[in-house]
């Protein structure tokens, strides 16, 4: 990077068309990651990250919004699991560590499906940008350890609440053994990051094919969201003839798990799965593939 640049100091600016095309394990044209954000909201919390009706957020308890969020783990996730099972998708889970204590059934069922457990803080009320370095270091390690004990596997991936970081978050993640972070939505392939020690990649993540910004913030209809998934796939699948890429989909069970939305999301998943030369994978598998074939080159 040139002297005086105000770009991110964590990685170089390298347009995707300047890079040699990658080759996926079986020569697939496109890899598809399905991120499932599984979260816990403490009863009585007034720090909800998402609300269907902001007017009651000042109440404690906020029964209206808590019930809406609780629906995701009680009902919506299981509808989502069934659709993903049907079409061969496995989840890359951004997991609140409190889920391990509060909903052991979710951990058990996800493990049976070989879903990947990534870390997403404790319960979406903790933001790294307001922590001291030691508080953040302890926060990262504590959440990784809780998930490792509950699932039997130490998370390779990390997503922060609101994708928020401090200036040293990547260093602390690499120090704790995290291998990839999904906070960056800047590319369609993994990107190596500069960290003080260890090694860290960015993993493609999406704020567009994501039900929070698209449905909750922009008010996009369920039918349009399903169409967006298909359209995103169509363009990337065609581009993948010459330059394979990664497509990510991000869903939250308390939003996407409702029947009128799952009708269109499941149809989109079936559409993707009906194509040949598609790698339905997880962030951990992409991480391992990239490290084995491209990181040292």
Summarised one tens digit per residue, pLDDT across range 181-196 is 999 999 999 999 999 9
Q: Give the residue from 271, 190, 264 showing the smallest Cα distance to 225.
A: 264
Q: Give the residue from 84, 53, 55, 81 showing the smallest Cα distance to 67.
A: 53
Least confident residue range of 3-12, 32-41, 176-185, 186-195? 3-12
Least confident residue range of 124-133, 181-190, 221-230, 273-282? 124-133
pLDDT for 14 beyond 70: yes
Mean pLDDT, residues 105-117: 98
Which residues touch 12 (CB under 8 Å, ≥6 apart)? 1
Structural domains in the chain, sorted by start: 26-42+55-293 (3.20.20.370)
pLDDT for 51 beyond 90: no
pLDDT for 2 beyond 60: no
pLDDT for 44 beyond 90: no
CA 91 to the chain's CA centroid? 9
Mean pLDDT, residues 274-278: 98
Rounded to whole angstroms, how far apart are CA atoms 38 and 119? Answer: 10
Residue with tokens 């993994």: 190
pTM listed for this prediction: 0.95
Mean pLDDT, residues 82-105: 98
Mean pLDDT, residues 247-268: 98
CA 248 to the chain's CA centroid? 8
Bridge partners for 181 per DSSP: 158, 202
Structure tokens at 173: 């993640």
Residue with tokens 């105000």: 6
DSSP assignment of the chain: --TT--S-TTS----GGGSPPP--TT--SEEEEEEEEE----TT-S--S--S-GGGTTSSS-HHHHHHHHHIIIIIHHHHHHHHHHHT--EEEEE-THHHHH-HHHHHHHHHTT-EEEE--SSS---GGGS-HHHHHHHHHHHHHHHHHHHSS--SEE--GGG---TTHHHHHHHTT--EE----S-SS-EEE--SSS-EEE----SSSBHIIIIIIT---HHHHHHHHHHHHHHHHHHTTTS-EEEEEEE-HHHHTSHHHHHHHHHHHHHHHTSSSEEEE-HHHHHHHHHHHTTT-
pLDDT for 225 beyond 80: yes
pLDDT for 1 beyond 70: no
Residue 295 or 78, more confident = 78
Could you tell me the CA-to-CA distances from 185 to 102, 159, 197 in Å, in that order?
A: 30, 11, 23
Over residues 118-151, the pLDDT tens digits come to 999 999 778 888 899 999 999 999 999 999 999 9
Over residues 285-296, the pLDDT tens digits come to 999 999 999 997
């Amino acid at each position: 990077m040139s002297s005086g640049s105000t770009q991110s100091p964590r990685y170089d600016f390298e347009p995707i068309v300047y890079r040699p095309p990658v080759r996926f394990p079986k020569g697939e044209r496109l890899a598809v990651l399905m991120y499932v954000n599984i979260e816990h909201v403490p009863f009585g919390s007034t720090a909800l990250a998402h609300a269907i009706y902001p007017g009651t957020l000042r109440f404690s308890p906020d029964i209206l919004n808590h019930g809406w969020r609780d629906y995701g783990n009680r009902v919506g996730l299981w509808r989502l699991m069934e659709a993903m099972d049907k079409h061969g998708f496995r989840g890359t889970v951004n997991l609140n560590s409190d889920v391990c204590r509060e909903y052991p059934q979710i951990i058990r069922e996800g493990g049976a499906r070989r879903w990947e457990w990534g870390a997403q803080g404790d319960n979406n009320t903790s933001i790294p940008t307001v922590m001291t370095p030691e508080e953040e270091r302890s926060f990262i390690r504590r959440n990784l350890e809780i998930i490792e004990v509950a699932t039997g596997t130490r998370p390779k991936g990390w997503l922060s609440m609101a994708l928020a970081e401090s200036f040293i978050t990547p260093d602390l993640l690499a120090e704790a053994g995290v291998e990839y972070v999904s906070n960056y939505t800047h590319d369609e392939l993994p990107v190596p990051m500069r960290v003080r020690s260890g090694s860290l990649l960015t993993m493609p993540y999406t704020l567009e094919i994501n039900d929070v910004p698209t449905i909750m913030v922009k008010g996009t209809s369920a039918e349009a969201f399903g169409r967006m998934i298909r359209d995103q796939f169509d363009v990337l699948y065609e581009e993948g003839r010459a330059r394979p890429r990664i497509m990510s989909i991000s869903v939250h069970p308390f939003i996407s798990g409702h029947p009128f939305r799952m009708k269109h999301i499941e149809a989109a998943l079936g559409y993707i799965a009906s194509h040949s030369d598609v790698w339905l994978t997880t962030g951990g598998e992409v991480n391992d593939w990239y490290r084995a074939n491209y990181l040292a080159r």
